[in-house]
Structures are given as C-alpha cells and as structure tokens.
Amino acid sequence: MSVESTSSLNLYAYGSASPNPGQGGYAATWSSDQQNGRVSGGYRHSTCVRLAMIAVIEGLRHCPDADLITIHSDQQYLVEAFQRGGWRAWRQNGWRRGSAKGGALQNVDLWERLLAAIGAKTGRITWRQADKKCDERKRCKELALEARSTTNLAEDLRTNVSSSDGRLCVN
C-alpha cells in the first residue's frame, strides 16, 4: 500500500497605499516544506484593493505549485469574493455587480489576471482572512511598506491622475 504525499503552501499577501489612493506597495510571502520565498514592489499611484490583488497575483506567479495553496489576505473584499463565489456571478454578468450594488466592477484587469494566475496552478486553492497577529502577515506588511517607500516606483497602468482636480481615478 503506497502513501501519497501531499504538499501544502501558505501564501500571505498584503497591499498598502498612503494616502488611499496614493503611493503604495505590495508583498507576498510563501512557505512550504520545500521552499520559502517572497516578492514585493510598489506603484506611485494605486489603491489598497488593487495592491492587495497584485500581491496575490505576484505571489501565485512566483510560488511553486502545491497540492493545496492557502491564500491569507486581510482584504476582506477579496477573500469573501472567493469564499462566497461572488467572482463567478460578476464574471457571468460581464464584470458587473448584482442589482443591489449595481454598476461595473472595478479592477476588472486584475480580476482577469488573478483568475489566470489561479488557473495556472495545479493544486486546490483556499482563502482565509489573515490574522493580524501572525508573524508572516506582519513580515508581509513590512515588505509592502518598505516597497512603498522606495524611489522610482512604476505607475499603475490602470490608474491616472485627473488634471482638473488632482484626484486619482481608477480606470
């Protein structure tokens, strides 16, 4: 009788902008029995939600495959979209919210990239709300804040600053 080994990986993701919207950073860390890693970066103008999504996308792009990947994020909107399946309805409705909230969903470019990153993984993915006291989540936050404070940050291609009032607009 053979015993199949299963691998699991924990991925922590964090995004932060200050002010929100404003200059921001993202980070993802992962750990498994075989490998630990991290990725981080920042943008001159973005939002906390966009940066949290980018953190998950980049984490999934860089972490190794595993039979089970558990994604930890403190972005409740993102976690609940997967735990409750809201993303499926949004996609079926042409990336529009239901009648209660109405209107087009923001960050469609990132939803599509996120679903592609998830689809590229061979294992099962689960989502959990991040524990603010967890050391890995704290490390992830530190990396994102560090990335946010660097110079020569890229421009988030889906955001722009309106010349009339100086406010950030998300496309």
The answer to whether the CB of 74 falls within 8 A of the CB of 15 is no
- CA dist., res. 16 & res. 25, Å (int): 5
Map 23-42 to HEC letters.
Answer: EEEEEEEEEECCCEEEEEEE
Q: What angle do CA 157, 63, 115 make, to 5 degrees?
A: 50
- Rg over alpha carbons for the chain, rounded to the nearest Å, is 17
CATH level 3 topology of 8-155: Nucleotidyltransferase; domain 5 (3.30.420)
Query: Token pair for residue 85?
Result: 């399946």
pTM flag (> 0.85): yes
- CA dist., res. 10 & res. 101, Å (int): 33
Mean pLDDT computed over 45-49: 94
Domain ranges of the chain: 8-155
If you search the block for the tokens 């291609």, which residue do you land on? 157
Which residues face 38 on adjacent strands?
29
What percent of the chain clears pLDDT 90, i.e. is strictly above it?
60
Measured in residues, the chain has a length of 171
Mean pLDDT computed over 12-30: 95
| Confidence class for position 131, pLDDT limits 50, 70, 90 | confident
